[in-house]
Amino acid sequence: MLLHSIKSVNFRNLKSGSLEFSDRANFISGRNGHGKTNLLESIYWLLSLRPKRGTVQDCVKKGESAFKIESDLTFGELKHHVNLDVEGKSKKLHIDGTQPRRKRDYLEQVLVVDFFPEDLLILVMEPALRRRFIDIASAQYSLPHEEVLRRFKRTLEQRNRLLKTPGGPDRGVLESFDRPFSESAALVTSMRLHLLSKLGKLTDELFREGIGEKYEADIRYISSLDGIPDSWADQNLPDPSQFQDIYFNALSRNRSVDIDSGRTSVGPHRDDWCLTLDGKPVRQFASRGEVRSAMFALHLSRFHILTEKRGIEPVVLIDDVMSELDIERRKRVLELLPPGQIFLSACDPPPEIEMLGNGELRHFVMENGSATRVN
């Protein structure tokens, strides 16, 4: 797929001029706080229909109530005009002037893979970031999984609300959550294990052979429940039914604890995963440089796994993270990217920029929310 042009109205600090992109490589430079990330974020919105940073309202220009993104895109081998209008909870999508029956029909045909600076923290900060990373990757890997995640979240929120009932919850109503909760929890867990095992394998290859690091990289799932494994060697999706009873029994075992604390103490919302180097979690043992290389290997492996599974050349967004690497590693990372159109940003053009795009590189300078093409 390809993004030919984009124009946004009232998106953060961006001015509403239209930008025409190269089919191969686009580089956006500019001083801090001028709108480089905002431009990449508007592309992310257009191709995923969700915010990358903050809430919907954070993305709307201060003082306005809605934003709009207009673009020309090629997907499904045809060129389309795509309009996205976002106001509060309402997201209206028009393709060639018509609203698609389901947004999924559009999302199935486009793919964006992204690496933003805040993603550098995923391996070392709180578990919620790692859960979000793997759940968003799972929904991109298999679009119907988005509905599974939504169902799990809804069930968890309803159960937690019930647990907080003044005077205690009705036991019968509480028990009626056990079956639907364990069914969706098992599906979430099964997909996480499947994808994390694929990511672990490829991350190790890219970390050692691709980037040239020395340790063996691996990924482990961390659940507090016996019977939920920390890895899944089989290439197929684990049968979720094997986890259902584990959750079902744990809910019943922990019922009193949950009533006392007013929240659900077991489930994938409490789980975590970690990346290890030679068996040791990066959080506790790795140097800063190693964490950075591991992050790049993890992101690159996600890019490749999604590209292969979806059979679409993605739009690749890399926002100002390359400057974290030395020049040799930067070159290797660029060589390791999946094929596709790329958007890269940094304050200053890096020396290896010319290897991007084989002469098809377009360079834009961002100033006060306006991007100007300089070559």
Ligand X SMILES: Nc1ncnc2c1ncn2[C@@H]1O[C@H](COP(=O)(O)OP(=O)(O)OP(=O)(O)O)[C@@H](O)[C@H]1O
**What is the contact surface with Mg ion in residues (CB under 5 A)?**
36-37
Using CB under 6 A, which of 1, 8, 12, 330 touches ligand X? 12
Asked whether 14 and 39 are in contact (CB, 8 A), the reply is yes
CB of 57 to ligand X, least distance (A): 8
Residues with Cβ within 8 Å of residue 353, at least 6 apart in sequence: 27, 361, 363
How many C-beta atoms surround the C-beta of residue 4 within 10 A? 17
Is 68 a binding residue for ligand X by CB under 6 A? The answer is no
Q: Is 234 exposed, middle or buried (0-12, 13-18, 19+ CB in 10 A)?
A: exposed
Asked whether 6 and 71 are in contact (CB, 8 A), the reply is yes
Q: Is 60 or 156 the residue whose CB approaches ligand X more closely?
A: 60
288-310 and 178-205 helices, crossing angle to 10°:
110
Q: Which residue is nearest to Mg ion (CB)?
A: 37
Chain center to CA of 173? 35
129 binds, among Mg ion, ligand X, none (CB under 5 to 8 A by kind): none
33 binds, among Mg ion, ligand X, none (CB under 5 to 8 A by kind): ligand X
CB of 364 to ligand X, least distance (A): 12
Using CB under 6 A, which of 2, 13, 120, 290 touches ligand X? 13
Q: Is 38 or 190 the residue whose CB approaches ligand X more closely?
A: 38
CB of 39 to ligand X, least distance (A): 7
Distances (CA, A) of 34 to 69, 189, 246, 301: 19, 41, 51, 31
CB of 64 to ligand X, least distance (A): 8
Asked whether 238 and 360 are in contact (CB, 8 A), the reply is no
| Contacts (CB under 6 A) with ligand X, residues 317-356 | 320, 347
CB of 42 to ligand X, least distance (A): 10
Using CB under 6 A, which of 1, 19, 26, 35 touches ligand X? 35
Determine the Cα–Cα distance for residues 179 and 330; give it in Å rounded to an integer.
Answer: 49
Using CB under 6 A, which of 32, 235, 256, 358 touches ligand X? 32
With b meaning 16 or more CB within 10 Å and e meaning fewer, what string describes 16-29?
Answer: eeebebbebbbbbb
CB of 40 to Mg ion, least distance (A): 8
Using CB under 6 A, which of 34, 192, 292, 304 touches ligand X? 34
Q: Is 53 or 92 the residue whose CB approaches Mg ion more closely?
A: 53
Using CB under 6 A, which of 55, 62, 214, 233 touches ligand X? 62
131 binds, among ligand X, Mg ion, none (CB under 5 to 8 A by kind): none
32 binds, among Mg ion, ligand X, none (CB under 5 to 8 A by kind): ligand X
Is 52 a binding residue for ligand X by CB under 6 A? The answer is no
Residues with Cβ within 8 Å of residue 141, at least 6 apart in sequence: 191, 195, 305, 306, 309, 310
Q: Quick one: which segment of 35-43, 131-139, 333-341, 350-358 binds ligand X (CB under 6 A)?
A: 35-43
CB of 7 to ligand X, least distance (A): 17
Determine the Cα–Cα distance for residues 259 and 238; give it in Å rounded to an integer.
Answer: 32
30 binds, among Mg ion, ligand X, none (CB under 5 to 8 A by kind): ligand X
| Contacts (CB under 6 A) with ligand X, residues 284-323 | 320
Residues in contact with ligand X by CB under 6 A are 12-13, 30, 32-38, 58, 60-62, 320, 347, 366
